[in-house]
Amino acid sequence: MIKKLILHLSTQDFGGAGIAANRIHESMLKSGLNSVFLTRFSDLKSNKTHALEPRPTKLKFSKVVKVIQRKLNYREKYNMFSVSDRSYYNIVNEIEALGLNPDIVIFHWVADFISLKDMVAIKKRFHCKVYWYAMDMALLTGGCHFAWECREYKCGCVKCPAEYLHRGSAANYFRRKCDVVETLGIEAIASNDWVRKQIQSSAIPFQAIHSACLPIDSDVFKPFFRNKDDSDAVPIRILFGAVNINDERKGFKYFVKALFKLKVLIRSSKEQLLDPIVVLPGPYTDHVDSLIPFKIERLDYANSDAELNMMYQSSDVYVSTSIEDTGPMMVSESLMSGIPVIAFNMGICSELISNGINGYVVDNKDSDALAHKLFYFAGKSSDEIKMLKDQTRSSVIDKISVEAHIIQIKRSLGIR
């Protein structure tokens, strides 16, 4: 029996969305599916991954111009990467040059790589089934990747709050996207219920909407416990991670506010609680030290999933203060690694986190509630923390493992 060829298209295989797309590809290979990954930029050099040759200086200049135009025309926080839809490659020729004739094509995060015109060309040439995996909100809006409080995507993005100068560009792109999605019969894939509900509420006419979690490899993300003398009191270690703490979406200011509230709670407590240690991965600038009222331990950025797992193992609890996110993927990774999570009610958090079982979910932007949960966690004994870590992994392994993903994605793609 000839296996169907599944072609993944993603702008890159690094960064949050790129890593997620690559993991989907890798999970398919691991399960024996015929999967190929085609990307514009590659850092990982994974199995059956092809990266396109970079374009000459003219393209680099064009990219600079596009960035400037976007900053002048649109509010930055909405990430209007897709509204200026362009074809940088003859994508059909690139696919054929690799000797590929895909039966299924999955678009992931494809800004600055695959245009609507490219999608039409792919469908016309290969007569394949076409899917769009939701890595953010790009597939259901008129160009933004994060809509924030805006819900114009429900009715055509006519009153786009992101636009400065190019009034009507989002609505125009939205109409074009509707035509392409309907004509090609594109089906959407949501990574969690939060995203699925957003897609369902969009006016983009997807032929069908499927659900398939983003896979977390349980053979890589797994807990281990350090040998230590439980008779000695040790402070809890709080992990906070974000590539850019100045990114408003990551809610760093709410984390800081919660830490100051936590300090007040600890100081006023009758219990003899130790101050926590805050673990920060990455090259945070020195001014961060003055913002956090506890001792900071810095870690290097992880360059592999194995190093990511080690990062999680360096802590007792992970805090996610994202206020606009379709994941966050670090929540899933942390839970699979056996590290409890305290998070705002965003994206996948309420779907994976069970209060008191593997962490806590609090209302968005509620730093006081976050602080109280951290205070409660700080009062737990070493045995209680170990038990919490044990049940954290078991609570999600059947929901977001590679095996769980394959069952869901096969059903979505109609593969037996």
Q: Which two tokens stand for residue 209?
A: 């909407």
The full length of the chain comes to 416
Residue 135 CB coordination number (10 Å): 28
Measure CA of the first residue to CA of the last residue in the chain; give whole Å. 12
pLDDT at 231 (0 to 100): 47
Check residue 47 and give its pLDDT. Answer: 85
Closest to 190 measured CA to CA, from 216, 178, 208: 208
Q: Is the pLDDT of residue 176 over 90?
A: yes
Domains of the chain (ranges; CATH) run 5-215+401-413 (3.40.50.2000), 237-399 (3.40.50.2000)
Q: Is the pLDDT of residue 87 over 70?
A: yes
Residue 331, phi then psi, degrees to nearest 5:
-65, -45
Which has the minimum average pLDDT: 33-42, 112-121, 219-228, 360-369? 219-228
pLDDT digits (tens, 9 = 90+) for 272-306: 899 999 999 877 666 788 899 999 998 988 889 99
With beta carbons less than 8 A apart as the criterion, state whether 290 and 260 touch: no
b/e map of 100-125 (b: 16 or more CB within 10 Å)?
eebbbbbbbbbbbbbbbebbebbbee
User: Per residue, what are the HEC states of the chain?
Assistant: CCCCEEEEEEEECCHHHHHHHHHHHHHHHHCCCEEEEEEEECCCCCCCEEECCCCCHHHHHHHHHHHHHHHHHECHHHCCCCCCCCCCCCHHHHHHHCCCCCCEEEECCCCCCCCHHHHHHHHHHHCCEEEEECCCCHHHCCCCCCCCCCCHHHCCCCCCCCECCCCCHHHHHHHHHHHHHHHHCCEEEECCHHHHHHHHHCCCCCCCEEECCCCECCCCCCCCCCCCCCCCCCCCEEEECCCCCCCHHHCHHHHHHHHHHHHHHHHHCCCCCCCCEEEEECCCCHHHHHCCCCEEEEECCCCCHHHHHHHHHCCCEEEECCCCCCCCHHHHHHHHCCCCEEEECCCCHHHHCCECCCEEEECCCCHHHHHHHHHHHHCCCHHHHHHHHHHHHHHHHHHHEHHHHHHHHHHHHCCC
Q: Does 328 sit behind a cis peptide bond, omega within 30 degrees of 0 on the bond before it?
A: yes
Rounded distance between C-alpha atoms, residue 17 and residue 414, angstroms: 24
Would the pLDDT of 201 be above 50?
yes
Given a cut of 80, whether residue 203 has pLDDT beyond it is: yes
Give per-residue pLDDT as tens, 371-400. Answer: 999 999 998 888 888 889 889 999 999 999
Question: Residue 310's pLDDT band (boundaries 50, 70, 90)?
Answer: very high
pTM given for the model: 0.94
Beta strand 237-240 with 277-281: parallel, antiparallel or unpaired? parallel
> Cα(121)–Cα(261) distance, rounded to whole angstroms?
56
- The predicted model gives 352-361 an average pLDDT of 95
Q: Is a pLDDT exceeding 80 seen at residue 1?
A: no
